[in-house]
Structure 1
Amino acid sequence: MVAIKAHQAQSFLNPPGPKVPAVLFYGTDAGLVSERAAQLAKLFAKRDQGEIIRLDDGDLDNDPDRLIVELQTIPMFGGSKVVRATAGRRINAASLQPLLAEGALAANLIVEAGNLKPTDAMRALFEKSPHAAAVACYGDEAADLEGLIRETLKAHGLAITPDAREMLLARMGADRALSRGEIEKLALYAAGRGEIEAADIEAVVGDASEMAIDRTLNAAVSGDAASAMAEFSRAMAAGESAQMIILAVQRHLQRLHRIRTQIDAGASFDDAIRQQRPPVHFKQKGALGLQCRLWNSERLTAALARTAKTARSARLSSSLEEAIAEELLLYLAATARPGAPTRPLTAHRH
């Protein structure tokens, strides 16, 4: 019966690892949940000489008894399996409760979940069971980020100047996996140089806030509802404002409408991009190209009207702004979904 607070998590994961066979990782930081689950899975597998098995709802849709079988079957050649599962429709408190209540696990179980309230059945099950533990995973504090920077750069044989460290910390978000990815990218950029300077940060590392918003709106306008919702959740967990995301969507659609209108008037996509002010960042060109193929001017006009209405609603009902923003993102993804009427990137000339 263990509830591990966020600041206790790292010591809980130190070798030889926890004594309980079942551990739940949950919280607002999806990257940190995944990273810690992977860390513990490797620790369990090495300690108990077992293989790691990944399961989610899709696996149980095909074989409903798979989770129970994996958790209760003793490997023929010894050792102990590690079952790393993602919480969902089938992998839930109801399905796990009998196994934890009876202490009937023949394998180590790791479950990954999103942010769970104290009253959530899954969290309560792992916190109250004598055979389990629940570990909270929330966004990195500055001290945690400094440790992550130091650890990652040291592995690449790199130092960093104080100015560069301050700039890097300012650009990091609350999602650990995304932060690690940015630091790894920086390390590759500076490979062989010995020390990272502020100019390197400026050249390579984007602002986490801007990137989170860009990923959210690009997924929605490109028709990827699942990614849009995942990125929106990450942005909210990192402290972004739903109203800021709505305004960013509005600006993006306005630019897309201008590009689409110029293409309809006979301009090539590249010419339309070159005419934009402020200039289009080269990393955005691919996404805009896809979106121009998915959207025509009429639907962009309708989407802009819908977005303006959404922005007003969010201002008037700030307590509901997240739900209002989610509804807008889902509408955009549905409207942009491939199969809807599209126009070519070069207008037909008559």
Structure 2
Amino acid sequence: MKLNARDANAWIAKPPPDRPGTLIYGEDAMRVALKRQDLVANLAGPGADEEMRLTRIAAADLRKEKSLLSDALKAQGFFPGARVALVEDVTAHNADQIVAALSDWKPGDAHIVVTGGQLKPTNAIRKTFEKHPSAVAIAIYDQPPDRAEIEGWIKDAGLAPDRDAMGALMEIAQAVGPGDLRRMIDKLALYKHNDPAPLTPDDIAACAPASTEAELDDVLNAAADGRTGQIGPILARLEAQGAQPVALVIAATRHFRTLHAAAADPGGPASGIGKLRPPVFGPRRDAMLRQAQRYGMHRLEDALRLLTDTDLTLRSTARAPQMALMERTLIRLAMMGRR
């Protein structure tokens, strides 16, 4: 069976008993690894490795010794409990062994967990799992975790965020990978150890990962707040991190387009900010509201025209230094908001 995202999350959170196997595949190895980690933990429990109820098989080893998986399915250990046979990083070369093991599976055998990269629809392993009546195939796409998934991680970490903190976590989820987000939540659990107070945006800011996205937000806010003196140093750090001027102008256009939508709302900027999807909470909401009110709708239209002209110049054959051109545009935007 092929599961959609909602059913896949339910399957991983509470795997049904007496099912033969699960295939998890996707282009992003980190996302696949996180789902595999959760599935194995929920199948066999936290002590599976120590109790030898988890057998790990590399795809390359399976190619050399074709009986590894079949033997792992039938092997009985000294400790009671569910058993898992894990085969990682499979390719089309492992199809015969995996298809044969799935066909020979009997109730009481270990659950087969198979992980792979971006398997094509014609891949024999993928086709076998998708057509199997009781095994499942789960595709992992390169998209941020949804709210239910993040809430599950927060609950497992023993945290209780307030509304603004949850909004801040959702914003961070759009900017960082799921691995960084999981590590940040683990860090928050240590940060809030023995502190019964709810998780707040300040707690999240203290533990948020440093990234290019954070620097990008800084330079956009510096421009929109009229802080011209900060634009050059932040751009220098971004350039050192490998940021491209075209990516900067795209991000700036997105930011100022959001401000324009808020300023143009019939109910005023506060009403417009409240209608944003995804919602914006906490300090970021206050900053965007202040920026939309400073510029007003008409000056934001001028700002968008300037950004469009800059984008066209950056993508043209002009020989102007691109980062210097981007810096000049951001300074002009800052000055425009200060008039």
So what's the TM-score if we normalise by structure 1? 0.50
Aligned with residue 128 of structure 1, among 119, 126, 131: 131
Query: Could you say if the C-alpha distance between residues 203 and 45 of structure 1 is closer, same or farther in structure 2, counting changes exceeding 3 Å?
Result: closer
Letter in 2 for 1:5: N
Say if 1:57 and 1:86, in contact at 8 Å, map to a contact too: yes
Query: Could you say if the C-alpha distance between residues 134 and 165 of structure 1 is closer, same or farther in structure 2, counting changes exceeding 3 Å?
Result: same
- Tell me which moved more, 23-32 or 107-116: 23-32
What secondary structure is seen at the aligned counterpart in 1 of 2:137? strand
How far, CA to CA, are the matches of 1:249 and 1:94 in structure 2?
A: 49
How far, CA to CA, are the matches of 1:60 and 1:205 in structure 2?
A: 41
Query: Could you say if the C-alpha distance between residues 159 and 210 of structure 1 is closer, same or farther in structure 2, counting changes exceeding 3 Å?
Result: same
Counterpart in the other structure of 1:305: none
What secondary structure is seen at the aligned counterpart in 1 of 2:90? coil
- Is residue 2:165 matched to residue 1:161? no
Percent identity between the aligned chains? 26
So what's the TM-score if we normalise by structure 2? 0.52
Say if 1:171 and 1:207, in contact at 8 Å, map to a contact too: no
Q: Deviations over 1:89-108 (max 9, x none)?
A: 58722331223334479432
RMSD (CA atoms)? 4.0
Query: Could you say if the C-alpha distance between residues 200 and 18 of structure 1 is closer, same or farther in structure 2, counting changes exceeding 3 Å?
Result: same
Deviation at 1:51, TM superposition (A): 0.5
Counterpart in the other structure of 2:32: 33
Counterpart in the other structure of 1:182: 184
How far, CA to CA, are the matches of 1:53 and 1:18 in structure 2?
A: 18
Q: Deviations over 1:63-119 (max 9, x none)?
A: 523524434534275866411110335872233122333447943210112233433
What secondary structure is seen at the aligned counterpart in 2 of 1:93? helix
Counterpart in the other structure of 1:143: 147
Q: List alignment gaps of at least 5 residues for structure 2.
A: 217-235, 244-314, 317-339
How far, CA to CA, are the matches of 1:14 and 1:190 in structure 2?
A: 25
Query: Could you say if the C-alpha distance between residues 185 and 16 of structure 1 is closer, same or farther in structure 2, counting changes exceeding 3 Å?
Result: closer
How far, CA to CA, are the matches of 1:77 and 1:192 in structure 2?
A: 38
Counterpart in the other structure of 1:197: 200
Say if 2:66 and 2:97, in contact at 8 Å, map to a contact too: no
How far, CA to CA, are the matches of 2:126 and 2:132 in structure 1?
A: 10
Query: Could you say if the C-alpha distance between residues 142 and 3 of structure 1 is closer, same or farther in structure 2, counting changes exceeding 3 Å?
Result: closer
How far, CA to CA, are the matches of 1:145 and 1:92 in structure 2?
A: 31
Deviation at 1:120, TM superposition (A): 2.9
How far, CA to CA, are the matches of 1:201 and 1:50 in structure 2?
A: 38
Aligned with residue 99 of structure 1, among 98, 101, 123: 101
How far, CA to CA, are the matches of 2:31 and 2:184 in structure 1?
A: 14
Alignment of structure 1 residues 153-302 onto 2, 5 Å:
153=157, 155=158, 158-173=159-174, 175-193=177-195, 194-206=197-209, 210=213, 251-252=240-241
Say if 1:148 and 1:180, in contact at 8 Å, map to a contact too: no
How far, CA to CA, are the matches of 2:242 and 2:13 in structure 1?
A: 48
Q: List alignment gaps of at least 5 residues for structure 1.
A: 214-246, 255-314, 317-350
Counterpart in the other structure of 2:8: 9
Counterpart in the other structure of 1:67: 68
Aligned with residue 52 of structure 1, among 51, 54, 67: 54
Query: Could you say if the C-alpha distance between residues 51 and 59 of structure 1 is closer, same or farther in structure 2, counting changes exceeding 3 Å?
Result: same
How far, CA to CA, are the matches of 1:67 and 1:209 in structure 2?
A: 44
- Is residue 2:117 matched to residue 1:118? no
What secondary structure is seen at the aligned counterpart in 1 of 2:129? helix
Say if 1:85 and 1:91, in contact at 8 Å, map to a contact too: no
